[in-house]
Chains A and B, each alone.
Chain A
Amino acid sequence: MAQVSSVSNEQSPTAKSITLKISRYNPEHDESSGFMEFNVKYEKWTTVLEAILDVKKHFDHSVAVRYSCRQATCGSCGMIINGKPRLACFTKISELDSNTVTVEPMNNFPVIRDLAVKFEKLFDTHQKIKPYLIRDDTELVSDEKEFLQTPEEVEQYIQFANCIKCGLCNSACPTMATDSSFVGPQALAQAYRYVADSRDKGKDSRLKIIDDSHGIWRCHFAGSCSQVCPKGVDPAMGIQLLRGYMLGFSS
């Protein structure tokens, strides 16, 4: 499956061109995936997502891609770009420093079609670690009408609250590559986010969930999850701090 196309629409004189290789696969009637190649013009600010949308507009509207906000906030457009998991809307073609840009669906996620993958398992594991504050009382009946925190207490977890659930960390994780039951770095980092929150009282129930042979002990601190995170969440740090707490290294 290969096709080389180009379009002579009007572009600025600074525009360059690259070969965009898009993985095509429809599980309903394809036995294996293949690549289609397109010649795409780009400026230095053009993102990979814009190039894919350009292909959809001018060459092949059937290319399946999920996207929404185009500003690295919704976490929809994660894909493998030149071999590494990245957000297509947050990756400029000019930064890749390559004449060929290859886009594939994220690893370790079932493929719906082409570049779109299923997120059900990611959301299931995220939900499994109880991603909400657990306590008996509520701020609605407290005198201050809110649970007050010091700036230092906020610093303990705010980094991990930046997670946009894009799945890049799970795609880069070497344990996720072979273990279908592993909770994954996204959920483990979110477990730390709530355990570290001074307002939360659900530490014990949350730790019971991740204290499993396919839970936190399966992380081997390869750190790839942190290297690909587009929001600076650093899941590897959260997981090690959480494990340090469980091992009694820290309070």
Chain B
Amino acid sequence: MPQDEHKEGIGGMINPRRYGIERVAYLLMRLSGLGLLAYFIGHIYETSNILRGQVGWNDFMEMISTPEGHIIMSIVIAMCVFHTVNGVRVMLGHGGVGVGKPARPDYPYDPASQNYRHKIGIYSAILLAAVAMMYGLAVMFGE
């Protein structure tokens, strides 16, 4: 990236502090997407252990059935739920659904596209992800 363009760069792109909950959702969407991609690659490696037969599979299962493994799995559950729920919100928004209708703006110009429906969608995605994560932790550590 040429220096003279004065781009904010990735640091500016992922900074969630300046533009409200929408920008937090934007960051979480990217982090959860990358996390799920990493999990997907790891999952392919994990399931490929079946080729080592029953003993190899059981050895690998034993290796990942640790408290650390359970915590990673619960984070994966949270990422999956957030990415799904927020993804539905974003896809609807991309289709122009729930972004408001054009109208003459009045001061102080609150943007109609950043309305309560989308804010509820974001908070719901975070809440559901937290609940699913706690449920996952309860199942995995509950025995």
Contacts and interface: CB of A to CB of B under 8 A. Distances in A.
Contacts of B7: 107-108, 176-178, 180
B22 A244 contact: no
B114 A236 contact: yes
A142 to B, nearest CB: 26
Interface in A194-243: 196, 220-224, 226-234, 236-238, 240-243
Contacts of B6: 105-111, 117
Interface string B69-113: 000000000000000000000100111110110111111010111
Interface size class of B (residues with CB under 8 A): 35 or more
Nearest to A193: B102
B20 A227 contact: yes
A34 interface: no
A15 interface: no
Contacts of B111: 223, 226-227, 229, 232, 234, 236-237
Interface stretch (A2-10, A50-58, A158-166): A158-166
Contacts of A233: 105
A240 B106 contact: no
Nearest to B25: A222
B9 to A, nearest CB: 6
A85 to B, nearest CB: 9
Chain A binding surface SS class: loop
A108 B8 CA distance: 6
B142 interface: no
Contacts of B26: 174, 220, 222
B13 A244 contact: no
B85 to A, nearest CB: 15
B96 A241 contact: yes
A237 B96 CA distance: 7
- Max count, chain B CB within 10 A of own CB: residue among A157, A223, A233: A223
A159 B13 contact: no
A245 interface: yes
- 4 interchain residue pairs of minimum CB distance: A244-B96, A232-B105, A232-B109, A226-B111
13 contacts: A27-B4, A84-B19, A105-B6, A156-B102, A162-B105, A174-B13, A177-B12, A178-B13, A222-B26, A227-B111, A232-B111, A237-B111, A240-B93
Interface of A: 27, 83-84, 105-111, 117, 155-160, 162, 172, 174-178, 180, 196, 220-224, 226-234, 236-238, 240-245, 247, 249-250
